[in-house]
Structure 1
Amino acid sequence: MSTIMTATAAISLSKVSKVYGSGPGAVTALDGVSLTLSRGSFTAVMGPSGSGKSTFLHCAAGLDRPTSGSVRLGETDLSGMSENELTELRRTRVGFVFQAYNLVPSLTVRENIQLPVLLGAGAPDAAWFAHVVETVGLTDRLAHRPSELSGGQQQRVAIARALVTRPDVVFADEPTGALDTRTGAQVLRLLRSVVESTGQTVLMVTHDPAAASVADRVVFLADGRLAGALEAPTVKVVAERMTRLGEW
């Protein structure tokens, strides 16, 4: 997979390694991973437990610094940035959706969605906010608080919050892990529609072949290394590939 930056690349990792600890007890979570995500693409990352999926996401999103290698968000090289600069980048150019919705209970849906913009002392783009809210189906829920919403609705709020700053990339970490099968499928269809309707780039870590099948491409990790990729994935083929990863 190419690591050459182009005008259409949303994010690029080049020979990224992450080692925790030192000496004989050191653990290599990522080992020379290179990957480029095109703008407007939906990529799923899969692998066995301990394969490095979460570390991959954290390094790609600027939540953790690689031990070696480089990460670029668009034309921006993250390796030379200070902690304050990384914090600003994560707030304005990166969106996050986690298994836990991480909503503020005392705030309304509107306030939760607008939180990243308000923390940056900015004003939400009214037209974009309205478009995002309509896309995720929350127009009639803006005055509600999280406790008044179902789990699926709360995850929709989290997705809207991730989109409100028009980020370069949305990182989703097991976004359907806390949802039942039906609601999870609705959230996945929503993420798919977001990619298609807004040109958003999504990188999703998942253990679920059904979730991965919604993506354009599935990238497999094993023992901290890339272990192949699958274009136009189906549930059956993804599940079969995951079974074989145990032999990697």
Structure 2
Amino acid sequence: MDMRINNTVSAVQMRGVEKIYHRGSTSVAALAGVDIDFERGTFTAVMGPSGSGKSTLLHCAAGLDQPTSGKVLLDGVDLTGKNETELTMLRRDRIGFIFQAFNLLPALTGEQNIVLPLELAGRKVNKARLREVVDSVGLGERVKHRPAELSGGQQQRIAIARALIAQPAVIFADEPTGALDLRTARDILSLLAQSVHQLGQTIVMVTHDPVAASYADRVVFLADGRIATEMYRPTAHAVAEQLTHLGDTVVAAGGR
């Protein structure tokens, strides 16, 4: 049974989340008691050095991985104890994903790739909504083409439209511009920010790039599986500067 919290302002809430991996006789804490909210209609970038827990945080928040302890609420629904079928349905209905690899089916047109999640869920495609999403990502008639006939930037626009079409509670983006050239990456990041500020979408993006993070409303910095600090209204320079001092921040915080 769904455990909803009414009128919550957060698309995702994480409370005391720990994720421990056992490797032989040793244990590694990928997340060590994370408390964080991702509020609706906001764009958050998650950053940190390799091994800091970025991907694990995203996977736990999206219900792709179960935390060892703690609680995750997605769109007001407690993920604790849900089986894989329940989690799959929840992800299908309430989450959009954007990855560095565009993950488009090559035999389908752009439009067919966009509506595929709805068709798999047995949901009727609203043509007006489809046109609105296609227009919002600037694809025009390119949606009639197959992925091989599109540039990398156009393929990522298809992936963004696919994530937006079902109006999910939250979109998780994992290095969404990593395979794109600089100009195209900026266009895609502007598009993501626009979907937040004009459409009210919620986006959580893992990135290693300070420039990419500067498009977000907030940057959350992880170190050693803990939240080291946060930054609002970031600039690329400020983000890069903070990344160089992450170790100092964790020490100053007493390793919390």
Q: What residue in structure 2 maps to residue 120 of structure 1?
A: 121
Q: What residue in structure 2 maps to residue 62 of structure 1?
A: 63
Q: What residue in structure 1 maps to residue 207 of structure 2?
A: 206
Q: Is the 8 A contact 2:94 2:168 kept in 1?
A: yes
Unaligned 5+ runs, structure 2: 251-256
Q: What residue in structure 1 maps to residue 253 of structure 2?
A: none
- CA distance in 2 between counterparts of 1:23 and 1:13 reads 28
Q: What residue in structure 2 maps to residue 227 of structure 1?
A: 228
Q: What residue in structure 2 maps to residue 98 of structure 1?
A: 99
TM-score (norm 1): 0.96
What SS does structure 2 have at the residue aligned with 1:211? helix
- CA distance in 2 between counterparts of 1:228 and 1:153 reads 35
Q: Is the 8 A contact 1:212 1:235 kept in 2?
A: yes
Q: What residue in structure 1 maps to residue 173 of structure 2?
A: 172
- CA distance in 2 between counterparts of 1:90 and 1:35 reads 20
- CA distance in 1 between counterparts of 2:77 and 2:23 reads 29
Q: What residue in structure 2 maps to residue 152 of structure 1?
A: 153
Q: Is the 8 A contact 1:92 1:116 kept in 2?
A: no
What's the Cα RMSD here? 1.4
Q: Is the 8 A contact 1:17 1:33 kept in 2?
A: yes
- CA distance in 1 between counterparts of 2:89 and 2:140 reads 29
Q: What residue in structure 1 maps to residue 196 of structure 2?
A: 195
Q: Show CA shifts across 1:2-51 (max 9, x none).
A: xx985211110001010111674211100000100111000000000110
Q: What residue in structure 1 maps to residue 80 of structure 2?
A: 79
Kindly state the Cα deviation for residue 241 of structure 1 after the two structures are TM-superposed: 0.2
Kindly state the Cα deviation for residue 139 of structure 1 after the two structures are TM-superposed: 2.1
Q: What residue in structure 1 maps to residue 38 of structure 2?
A: 37
Q: Is the 8 A contact 1:16 1:32 kept in 2?
A: yes
Instruction: Find runs of 4+ consecutive structure 1 residues off by over 2 angstroms.
Output: 4-7
Q: Is the 8 A contact 1:5 1:12 kept in 2?
A: no
What letter matches 1:168 in structure 2? A
- CA distance in 1 between counterparts of 2:145 and 2:23 reads 49
Kindly state the Cα deviation for residue 60 of structure 1 after the two structures are TM-superposed: 0.3
Q: Is the 8 A contact 2:75 2:94 kept in 1?
A: no
Q: Show CA shifts across 1:221-247 (max 9, x none).
A: 000000000011011110000011144
What letter matches 1:224 in structure 2? G
For residues 122 and 6 of structure 1, do their structure 2 counterparts lie closer, same or farther at Cα, with a shift above 3 Å needed? Answer: closer
Q: Is the 8 A contact 1:98 1:174 kept in 2?
A: yes
Kindly state the Cα deviation for residue 127 of structure 1 after the two structures are TM-superposed: 1.9
What letter matches 2:188 in structure 1? V
Q: What residue in structure 2 maps to residue 21 of structure 1?
A: 22
Q: Show CA shifts across 1:195-222 (max 9, x none).
A: 1121000000000000000000000000
For residues 216 and 40 of structure 1, do their structure 2 counterparts lie closer, same or farther at Cα, with a shift above 3 Å needed? Answer: same
- Alignment length, in residue pairs? 245
What letter matches 1:153 in structure 2? Q
- CA distance in 2 between counterparts of 1:25 and 1:9 reads 35
Q: Is the 8 A contact 1:48 1:246 kept in 2?
A: no
What SS does structure 2 have at the residue aligned with 1:176? coil
TM-score (norm 2): 0.93
Percent identical across equivalent pairs? 58
What letter matches 2:205 in structure 1? M
For residues 176 and 67 of structure 1, do their structure 2 counterparts lie closer, same or farther at Cα, with a shift above 3 Å needed? Answer: same
For residues 122 and 102 of structure 1, do their structure 2 counterparts lie closer, same or farther at Cα, with a shift above 3 Å needed? Answer: same
What SS does structure 2 have at the residue aligned with 1:66? coil
Q: What residue in structure 1 maps to residue 11 of structure 2?
A: 10
